[in-house]
Amino acid sequence: MIQFNINKKITALLLVVFGFVSLGAAQQALTLAAAKDFAVKNAFQVKNKGFDAQTAKLQTDELIAIGLPQISGSVQYQNFIDRPTSILPGDFFGMPGQNVAVQFGVPQTLTAGLNASQLLFDGSWLVGLQASKAYAALQNKNIVKSEIEVKRATEEAYHLAVIAQESISLLTASRDLLAETLEHTKALKNEGFVETQDVEQLTLSLNELEARIRVAQTQALIAKTLLKFTIGMNVDEEITLADNSKTILDSFNAQLVQSPFNADVLIDNLIIKDGLALQKLSVKNQQARLLPNLAAFYSIQRQAQRQEFNFLDGNQPWYPTQLWGLSMNVPIVSGGAKSKSIQRAGVEVKRMEETLAFSNNAAKLEYQVGMAEYMNATQNVDLAMQSFDLASSILNKTQIKFDQGTSSSFELSRQTSQLLQAQVSLIQARLSLMNAQTRLSKSLNAL
């Protein structure tokens, strides 16, 4: 009888599970850390929030400009085809009892001037300036939030791609193991120790494995494409994953589990606090609209009046007009509309205060759920590893019995399927643990 031992094959499967087997040819190797760095610089979400921040900064600059001196120039040319006619009593012209039609002015007029104004006081503008700066700061925090979100999305996409890739390696190793068993069984059949049904049963199991490998390859391709899309990389780019499930799990900072929870440092709460400050400024803005505003103005003009178009003649006179003044607008009665606006802004302040309290509570819930998922996932990985070891041992014993003719090919196929299921369970447990680590890190502001 031909002797066959699968201990080495089981060892090979274990090596694959723990990530010691090479997972691809040398291409552009991408670590998880590098993927996150790339995403922060190139992901669409981060870039989009960056545009919002730029817009907010420009809005602040635009509002500041309103409080700076405003100067404008004007040039106006007039040519009366028919000059205006006025009717005067004839008494002025020695013609009592008659009306006399007269025309004043000249047909050609050119006026050039400069107008300047300076806002001296406007409470609404001062509050608006504070609000615009606060809004710009809020947009910068939104950039930080988008970076955190894209890091989490990148980690989860990377985890999925790693697991999909390792699934292929596990299934391939199992296929090679089963293929050798099939060849061994064929040799036993030729010697008359097993029946044709045993060969057929193992062939059926091998075909099922081949189908599962093809599905896994498709899933791995999709997962890797999703990763490239998530981090903002061209989806046609070729990459390999430099990290595996073991290196990712080993890199987790276990001290993080002991870290105290602090909702005040979470970016969502910081953004809500900025929103609350903006709402309070909105109340001040509505109140400031009840105050008068004051502005200064200055104007200078020079006007030329001609019978003909000879404005370039330096010998002809120009007549100056120059003035300055102050302008004050004082709100008196608005029908109660401004009072209602103040009250409405106050309601929004209360809404934001309630939102902040809700966000704090939600953050605590997220932390508690994240911690519970992490602890549960850690235990599940240990159990899945134990189940994998047991399934490997059982398959090894079944293989020996099959070689000795005391076990059927059906039992060998069943134990092979049990090992495959244990492999899948272990992979899923490791994926759940990696994602739980990500969730816990985010809840502690450690991404």
pLDDT tens digits, one per residue of 154-164: 999 999 999 99
Q: Is 84 helix (H, G, I), strand (E, B) or coil?
A: coil
Residue 26 DSSP class: S
Do the beta carbons of residue 396 and residue 12 sit within 8 Å? Answer: no
Nearest residue to 292 (alpha-carbon basis) of 66, 68, 119? 119
Q: What is the DSSP letter of 25?
A: -
CA atoms within 13 A on the CB side of 172: 14
Q: Residue 124 has which token pair?
A: 């609404």
Instruction: Give the pair of three-digit tokens for residue 319.
Output: 């007549």
Q: Check if the beta carbon of residue 56 is closer than 8 Å to that of residue 139.
A: yes
Q: Which residues pair with 116 in a beta bridge?
A: 71, 298
Region 128-156: mean pLDDT is 92
Q: Which amino acid is at 430?
A: R
Task: Give tens-digit pLDDT for 54-98.
Answer: 998 888 888 888 888 999 999 999 988 877 887 878 777 777 878
How many of the other CB atoms lie within 10 Å of CB of 295?
A: 16
Residue 8 pLDDT more than 70?
no
Neighbours of 405 (CB within 10 A): 11
- Strands 28-30, 239-241: pairing kind: parallel
Q: What is the pTM of this model?
A: 0.79
pLDDT digits 0-9 by tens, 292-306: 999 999 999 999 988
- Whether 78 contacts 107, CB under 8 Å: no
pLDDT digits (tens, 9 = 90+) for 19-33: 444 444 445 689 999
Structural domains present in the chain:
7-66+122-291+336-443 (1.20.1600.10), 70-120+293-330 (2.20.200)
Residue 427: is it exposed, middle or buried by C-beta count within 10 angstroms (0-12/13-18/19+)?
buried
Give the tokens for residue 440: 């816990």
